Amino acid sequence: MHDTIAVLDFGGQYTHLISRRVRELGVYSEIFPFSVDLSELDGRRVKGVILSGGPRSVYEEGSPKIGYDFFQWCEARGVPVLGICYGHQLIAHVFGGEIERGERREYGKALLYVEDEDELFRGLGVVETVWMSHGDAVTKLPEGFKVLGRTEGTPIAAYADPERKIFGVQFHPEVAHTSKGLKILENFAVKVCGCRPTWVVENWAEEAVNEVRERIKEGGNIIMAVSGGVDSTVAATIIHLAAGDRLHCVFVDNGLLRKGESEEVVRTFREKLKFRNFHFVDAGDLFLERLKGVTDPEEKRKVIAHTFIEVFEKKAKELEEKHGEFRFLGQGTIYPDRVESAATSQAAARIKSHHNVTLPERMKLKVVEPLASLYKDEVRRLGEKLGIPREILWRHPFPGPSLAVRVLGEVTRDKLEIVREADAIVEEEVRRAGVYEKLWQAFAVLLPVRAVGVMGDARTYDYVVAIRAVESLDAMTANFAKLDWNLLERIASRIVNEVKGVNRVVYDVTNKPPATIEWE
């Protein structure tokens, strides 16, 4: 059993990113609800606890809380505690400190002035860049606590109780925007908690297969929707290793896919991965019919998800008549799918619904999700261990609703053709420039506006295409890619000249946060 850092989830959108960062250090981390029974933690090798951020105020009625008994449990077992953002405020609140609504909300990058490095800030400079996202702030520390750092807007940005090994930081060390955030988490997990860095995701492959095998031991077939993307391909491979031909993979062409994608997915599963029970469904006309007149992004996702379930269920019934009963549903769900759908905590705020996590609601099947605790880079490393071809593993992520969320406004065949051709040009040029694998995603978006242009001495009034290219490790945060201007010029020139109906190309230079990676 690995030494474990337990992350208590208070509904923060970065909760899983905290766990992800700890694992990056080679230390195993697991997420628990804030209301976890302490006896459950006793059954794990918990060496430290991190309290996540959250969208609520500690004084708000019904906000998630833990009591003094939790800290007594930690102290009795010598388990250090680190509170982040809401967790930072909650610790101060429980021990008798004061929290007030700040005069101004502090959001984004800030300078942290380290006043006392203690154990938590060992190895940091006297001034470090951190990422803030809060309205409330600790204004008075409890007895026995000392200030470790401050920012311009937050006099108590970090604190410690050295005797009880309790720490709090108002900022988010887990996000990439905090320059020494990983060092802070390393100081806590390895130096303060004494965890041994024994977690290696590549060694988890056999464990993942065994877990699936145990999950499906009662018998019955497994059905799984696959997209040809990294997540569903790796998940299907793990389930296939555990279940063999009991697994039936269904690929639904919803008419919203990228150029040549449908043919490539079929070829990958049937020829490269040698899946015997691979089933193709062409449902493009149905999806486009259901999307007529739909412009709201969340409504698009719902229409696509519900239509997909309908098509999937119909195919499942056909296959059951031929192959026998399905008792399990395989899915390629990973952590970011869950965190953005608020599926990890009742206290979380939903950003957008996800096809991956809405599917089981209408399926009377037991769900098998071998990747539900992993992030994209971990999935890729696991896929390499399983021998999946590199061109599949390093393919850019693609949204569940497909190109429907890259056509802003109503989705039509003509608009799909525009964004499909523009997207193909983006991918081709990015690959030709040798930067494809350095980017998390690069794609085209069709905007619901027209602009005046001049082509061949004539006035045009055509669509605008936006190009989005970002760098990221896990999609929880992302920076826009500083692509070479010559590359951007080639992309724009080709789109305007080769894609009928477009006369203007713009480049998105917004980071996540505050934006999301996709436009819808």
Residues with catalytic roles: 85, 172, 174
Query: Is 396 strand, coil or helix?
Result: coil
The encoded tokens of residue 151 equal 């920012």
- Rounded CA-CA distance 132/321 in Å is 56
DSSP characters for 214-259? HHTTT--EEEEE--SSHHHHHHHHHHHHHHGGGEEEEEEE-S-PPT
- Rounded CA-CA distance 390/269 in Å is 14
- Closest-CA residue to 252 (of 267, 265, 234): 265
Q: In what order do the strands lie in the sheet with 247-253?
A: 278-282, 247-253, 221-225, 326-330, 366-368
Main-chain dihedrals φ then ψ at residue 370, nearest 5 degrees: -70, -15
- Rounded CA-CA distance 99/88 in Å is 10
- Rounded CA-CA distance 70/87 in Å is 13
Q: Is the peptide bond before 514 cis (omega within 30 degrees of 0)?
A: yes
Q: How far apart are the first and last CA of the chain?
A: 42
Query: Is 431 strand, coil or helix?
Result: helix
Distances (CA, A) of 245 to 40, 242, 248: 36, 10, 7
Q: Which residue has the tokens 């989705």?
A: 411
Distances (CA, A) of 64 to 9, 59, 134, 348: 9, 10, 16, 10
Which spans in 55-96 are helix H? 68-77, 86-94
Number of Cβ atoms within 10 Å of the Cβ of 488: 15
Amino acid identity for residue 318 in this structure? E
- Closest-CA residue to 476 (of 270, 176, 209, 257): 176
Main-chain dihedrals φ then ψ at residue 243, nearest 5 degrees: -115, -15
- Rounded CA-CA distance 444/47 in Å is 46
**Burial tier of 119 (Cβ tally within 10 Å: 0-12, 13-18, 19+):** middle
The encoded tokens of residue 156 equal 């108590």
- Closest-CA residue to 121 (of 81, 95, 148, 92): 148
- Rounded CA-CA distance 428/210 in Å is 40
Number of Cβ atoms within 10 Å of the Cβ of 260: 10
Number of Cβ atoms within 10 Å of the Cβ of 409: 16
- Rounded CA-CA distance 349/347 in Å is 7
